[in-house]
Amino acid sequence: MAGGRLPGLLLLLHAAARLAAEQEVENLSGLSPNPEKDIFVVRENRTTCLMAEFAAKFIVPYDVWASNYVDLITEQADIPLSRGAEMKGKCGTNESELELSWLEQAYTLKLFFLKEGHNTSRGPEAFWRLSRIQFTYDTSERTYFKDAVSPGKHTASSHRLSALVTPAGKSYECQAQQTISLISSDHQKSVQLLLSEVRLQPFDIPADFVFSEEHKCPVDQREQLEETLPLILGLILGLVIVITLGIYHIHLKLTASQVQIPRDRSQYKHMG
């Protein structure tokens, strides 16, 4: 009888180990010097498979009664991602997910990532992107929603999203603020997700807790160019001035070594 129970027990232990591996996640937000920035790590089989660092805030419109208690007016809730957020993660070869919830699951953010390939003039190339966002919020929660009309849970989702596009094998980095619009089930209101100080990699992490080479967003690339362009122009201008002075100095030397022919013809008789 005991021999028959042993295989079943081993099977349960194996299933539990697999489940634990899938849910090995860490909220490392306390390591960030920026109180608005969060750090999340998903690990499977003791290996990091997804890392995310970012500051996030949601701007959510909601209805309240006007002072006459007849008309509705729209207020705005600014909801930051809490540093104490609970998290779940899921890694795959071509699909990965990150789920965050806070304030007793009054708010839940789900990020879905997809890796795919396409053909270019240089041949096949692979890249990953943020393919879908889902944000669930409860307007009966009183920290950010005050006197909401018909309070309850709503879900705001992205529509045909293709964001943070990054070559496969690289991490995405963007210090600038980005705004992503989500459509809410609350009368199709537009919810804004503000992301900043982003460093993210959902696939192909080379070592534990180590990002791959970064792929900077276009805004950061443009700002970096704007910062370095004056320096480059200054160096070019300085080089032009040095070259000009050098040519002028050489010209003076050459002209000084040449025989000077008198301009006054009366002096010719003394020559020779």
pLDDT of amino acid 43:
94
pLDDT of amino acid 229:
46
pLDDT of amino acid 248:
76
45-69: b (≥16 Cβ within 10 Å) or e:
eeebbbbbbbbbebebebbeeeeee
Q: Are residues 184 and 74 in the same domain?
A: yes
Q: Are residues 129 and 82 in the same domain?
A: yes
- Domain of 223, in residue numbers: 217-250
Question: Over the stretch 179-222, which tens digit does the pLDDT of each residue have?
Answer: 999 999 999 999 999 999 999 999 999 999 999 999 999 986 66
Among 216, 235, 260, residue at a domain's last position: 216
In angstroms, the CA 228 to CA 92 distance is: 39
Q: Are residues 68 and 135 in the same domain?
A: yes
In angstroms, the CA 99 to CA 75 distance is: 27
Range 53-81 average pLDDT: 96
In angstroms, the CA 186 to CA 74 distance is: 12
Question: Over the stretch 95-138, which tens digit does the pLDDT of each residue have?
Answer: 999 999 999 999 999 999 999 987 777 778 899 999 999 999 99
Mean of pLDDT over the chain: 85
Number of residues that this document lists for the chain: 272
Q: Are residues 119 and 233 in the same domain?
A: no
In angstroms, the CA 209 to CA 265 distance is: 88
Q: Are residues 63 and 90 in the same domain?
A: yes
Task: Read off the CATH number of the domain in which 170 is found.
Answer: 2.40.160.110
Range 255-270 average pLDDT: 60
Question: Over the stretch 221-246, which tens digit does the pLDDT of each residue have?
Answer: 664 444 454 565 666 777 777 787 77
Reduced to 3 states (helix: H, G, I; strand: E, B; else coil), residue 174 is strand
pTM over 0.85: no
5: confidence class by pLDDT, cuts 50, 70, 90: low
Q: Are residues 177 and 221 in the same domain?
A: no
Q: Are residues 204 and 223 in the same domain?
A: no
Q: Report yes or no on 94 lying in a domain.
A: yes
Q: Report yes or no on 206 lying in a domain.
A: yes
Pair 203, 246: CB distance under 8 Å: no
Q: Report yes or no on 271 lying in a domain.
A: no
Give 14's Cβ-side CA count (13 Å radius): 6
pLDDT of amino acid 8:
52
Tokens at 151, concatenated: 């309070």
pLDDT of amino acid 140:
96
pLDDT of amino acid 20:
47
pLDDT of amino acid 106:
97
Question: Over the stretch 151-185, which tens digit does the pLDDT of each residue have?
Answer: 999 999 998 899 999 999 999 999 999 999 999 99
pLDDT of amino acid 29:
92
Range 40-48 average pLDDT: 92
Question: What dihedral angle (degrees, nearest 10) is formed by the CA atoms of 134, 222, 51, 60?
Answer: -30
- Please check the confidence at residue 269 and state whether its pLDDT lies above 60: no
Q: Report yes or no on 141 lying in a domain.
A: yes
Give 106's Cβ-side CA count (13 Å radius): 16
- Please check the confidence at residue 84 and state whether its pLDDT lies above 60: yes
264 secondary structure, DSSP code? S
